[in-house]
Amino acid sequence: MQTFKWQRIVLKVGSALIAPEQNGCSSRYLLSIAQFIVRCRAQGIEVILVSSGSVAAGSHLFPADKARSVAMKKAMAAAGQTEMMAAWDRFFDFPSAQILLTHGDLRDRERYKSIRETIFTLLDHGVLPIINENDTVTTDDLRVGDNDNLSAMVAGAADADALMICSDVDGLFDKNPNLHSDAVLLPEIDKIDDSIYAMAGCATSAVGTGGMKTKIEAAEKATSHGITTFILNGFKEQTFNRLLEGENPGTIFMPYEKPMQEAIHWRTHTASEQGELVVEGNFTEPLDKNSKQLNPHEIVEVRGEFAVGDTILVRSDDGTKLAKARANYSSCLLNFIAENESTEFSDEVQDSIGPIISDEDIAVLEKS
């Protein structure tokens, strides 16, 4: 590649590309994507494929005239997953591997590390990892919900250089191109803010579960980890030819100049908070430098139920989100502390239990 110097990329392909007619997998759009993967690998670029489509691929095996319950959709995913893997596998003369994930796997630090190790080992041995959300077993509590955000989490876990999200439009436009003929494609985004989200609108594919908003969310996750992110038209063969020629065929989101460290990025963008700790918001120092001085009497409220080691959201009493952190104590104990607010008691507790949260396991958030 001339302009882009990648060692490892994550490519996200949606349901509309896998099964455009919802009648099983189709090679109509997958062939050019598969050729892109083959050509990348031939140039020494490692590829990780995040592929939606199991439900769409398996839907034709079930009655279309009946209401599709959650259980039926899970069954579609189970049946369609094997069909989808077979569809990808027939394009390649190298081995591939299936990895099915839930958010529960990603938000648990030990399982997250295990996922990283598995991906790295597969890549080291020339095996193409093909990743999808495990729709068959996941519940609402454990769902990522869309493979755009899943692909960003995977890109972070895999220390990728670039994330490429395939869409049904050429990239991000200043307004919905399906509704406005004068919509203008934005070739480069330096910073994602509210104005960028406003442009995303709420358009969604008739087949997929994501929309432009989830792609922007994914781009925000990835770029904060130093990962260059593209939104591309996966339906056009020339998209992938232009990438291989070093050109930008869609919208490129530039990475942070100072990316988050891996552990901080995981806690910010992948770990989900299991509860909240509301504290007095009159800290004179940043929370990451002051967390060891967070005293029990500064706890205003404990929300939710969480155990030692869970990720919690620390919020000031004016509603400002301060940080996501590892809880050193359970919600039960912290509730007991908060209900006994006397200074004497708090000082005694502080002396005996140590820091409530540790500055070694904290991700400071932008004020919101």
| pLDDT tens per residue across span 209-256 | 448 999 999 999 999 999 999 999 999 999 999 999 999 999 999 999
Cβ within 8 Å of residue 180, ≥6 positions away: none
Please give the average per-residue pLDDT across 14-26, as a whole number.
86
Nearest to 215 by CA among 309, 167, 148: 148
Q: What is the pTM of this model?
A: 0.84
Q: Is 150 helix (H, G, I), strand (E, B) or coil?
A: helix
Higher pLDDT among residues 208 and 12, named by residue: 12
Residue 307 has what pLDDT? 92
331 neighbors 306 (Cβ within 8 angstroms): yes
Residue 292 has what pLDDT? 56
**pLDDT tens column, 184-221:** 999 999 999 989 988 886 444 444 444 899 999 999 99
Measured over the CA atoms of residue 290, residue 296, residue 302 and residue 305, the dihedral's sign is positive
85 neighbors 131 (Cβ within 8 angstroms): no
Rg, the chain, Cα only: 23
CA–CA dist 317, 36 (Å, integer): 51
How far CA 206 is from CA of 17, 20, 46, 140, 357, in Å, comes to 12, 9, 31, 21, 45
Residue 288 has what pLDDT? 60
202 neighbors 211 (Cβ within 8 angstroms): yes
Residue 178 has what pLDDT? 80
Q: Which residue type is seen at 305?
A: E
CA–CA dist 66, 76 (Å, integer): 13
Which of 14-23, 117-126, 277-286, 316-325 reaches the highest mean pLDDT?
117-126
Residue 210 has what pLDDT? 47
Which of 239-253, 307-321, 346-360 reaches the highest mean pLDDT?
239-253
Residue 4 has what pLDDT? 79
Domains and CATH numbers, the chain: 8-265 (3.40.1160.10), 273-364 (2.30.130.10)
CA 269 to chain centroid, in Å, comes to 7
Residue 63 has what pLDDT? 87
